[in-house]
Chains A and B, each alone.
Chain A
Amino acid sequence: MAYSEKVIEHAENPRNVGTLDKEDPNVGTGLVGAPACGDVMRLQIKVSDAGVIEDAKFKTFGCGSAIASSSLATEWLKGRTLDEASAIRNTDIVKELNLPPVKIHCSVLAEDAIKSAIEDFRKKQSAKRGA
């Protein structure tokens, strides 16, 4: 498998690896996985009261492309509003990292992780308002 330079760069120096407090009402957690390869990816966002993503962390156990996809996603998320974050498409990640066709599902996984983190955050917020 020939990895692009950008994939190798992110896989060797992943950005924003770590954990945010998943109990924090301002934190949204997305946990996704691809059963075909046994990968698991966690992506978390911390959203300010103004609705801007002020921090993003990830932890991925998987191949280099899965790590690079989630690492890139956390870089892109910081400073974005939730709507801007929702607009990130897996194809953007594919383009940026030059992912080969067999690794496109890694970028799909990262997009799913972003969506599920946003969904988790929104669920928490509506629960808070409802309470």
Chain B
Amino acid sequence: MTDPFELLGLARRFSLDRAALEQRHRDLSRTLHPDRYVQAPPGERRMALERAVAVNEAFRALRDPLTRAEALLTLHGLSVGDADRPAPALLMEVMDLREALDEARRSPHKVAALLDQVRARSRAEESALASAFDADDAPDAAALGRARDALVRLKYFRRFEDEADAALDY
């Protein structure tokens, strides 16, 4: 995979300055804009277009903490796959939450309360990701393991948030 951090000229870290990310994306998009390549040879024009697409993809990957963590893990040669089995405590918590959400479906304020609770859990996992990835210049195997566990939890909490959001819209 192309390194989205490198493409956007950002340090390979989990914590990033959202404004700086957006600024880089805007600047690069302007530089690579097709209008600037109208007179350029076709090869150069095509390369600029491909690069613009890659820059957009990198921006989208880094904008969301979850996909940013996935990108960092991939760069370290790790991933969360179908064969991975989450910790029993997490599964119990998620099962309880999903059952509570099922029961709360008809009462928006109960759903909203559950959503607040889980959003706070997601924030905590994002902090855990930041300390696992960014504590040292290069995270060691133990830190990457902690990052991976935090990412699994974040995936489950995000999934819950999506379901709860859908229940509120309903």
Q: Which of B80, B82, B86 contacts A108 (CB 8 A)?
A: B82
Nearest chain B CB to A58's CB is how many angstroms away? 12
Given A31-B91, A33-B91, A38-B156, A112-B98 contact (CB < 8 Å): no
* Closest partner residue, chain B, to A34 (CB atom): B82
* Inter-subunit contact B156/A36 (CB<8 Å): no
Chain A residues with Cβ below 8 Å from B94 are 33, 40, 61
Contact residue among B88, B99, B158 (Cβ-Cβ distance under 8 Å from A38): B158
Least CB distance, A93 to chain B, in whole angstroms: 15
Chain A residues within an 8 Å CB radius of B156: 33, 35, 38, 40
B80/A40 in contact, CB under 8 A:
no
The reply to whether B95 and A31 form a contact with Cβ atoms under 8 Å apart is: yes
Closest CB in chain B relative to A77 CB, distance in Å? 20
B45 adjacent to chain A (CB < 8 Å): no
With contacts A31-B95, A32-B91, A59-B95 taken as known, whether A38 is within 8 angstroms of B83 at the C-beta atoms is: no
Number of interface residues of A (CB under 8 A): 15
Let me know if A36 and B86 touch, CB within 8 A. no
Contact A31 B88 (CB under 8 A): yes
B1: Cβ under 8 A from any A Cβ: no
Contact A38 B155 (CB under 8 A): yes
- Which residues of chain A in 82-120 are interfacial with respect to chain B, using CB atoms and an 8 Å cutoff? 105, 108, 112
Inter-subunit contact A35/B152 (CB<8 Å)? yes
Tell whether, in the assembled complex, residue B95 and residue A35 are in contact, meaning their CB atoms are under 8 Å apart.
Answer: no
Most chain B Cβ neighbours within 10 Å, of A34, A37, A42, A108: A34
Chain B residues within an 8 Å CB radius of A37:
82, 159
Task: Give the docked Cα–Cα distance between A31 and B95 (Å).
Answer: 9
Q: A31-B88, A33-B91, A33-B156 are in contact. Are A61 and B98 (CB under 8 A)?
A: yes
| Inter-chain contacts of A31 with B (CB < 8 A) | 88, 91-92, 95
Complex Cα gap A113–B120 (Å): 30
The minimal Cβ–Cβ distance linking B73 to chain A, given in whole angstroms, is 12
CB proximity to B under 8 Å, residues A9-49 = 31-38, 40, 42
Do B95 and A40 touch across chains, with their CB atoms under 8 A apart?
yes
Is B6 interfacial (CB 8 A cutoff)? no
Bound complex: CA A40 to CA B88 (Å): 11
Q: Does residue B84 face the partner (Cβ distance < 8 Å to A)?
A: yes
Q: When the two chains form their complex, are residues A59 and B82 in contact, meaning their CB atoms are under 8 A apart?
A: no
- Annotate A51-82 by CB proximity to B: 1 below 8 A, 0 otherwise: 00000000101000000000000000000000
Given A34-B82, A36-B80, A112-B85, residue A59 in contact with residue B155 (CB < 8 A): no
* Residues of A in contact with B (beta carbons under 8 Å apart): 31-38, 40, 42, 59, 61, 105, 108, 112
6 A–B contacts, CB within 8 A, in A order: A31-B95, A33-B94, A35-B155, A38-B156, A38-B158, A59-B95
* A-binding residues in B (CB < 8 A): 80-86, 88, 90-92, 94-95, 98-99, 152, 155-156, 158-160, 163
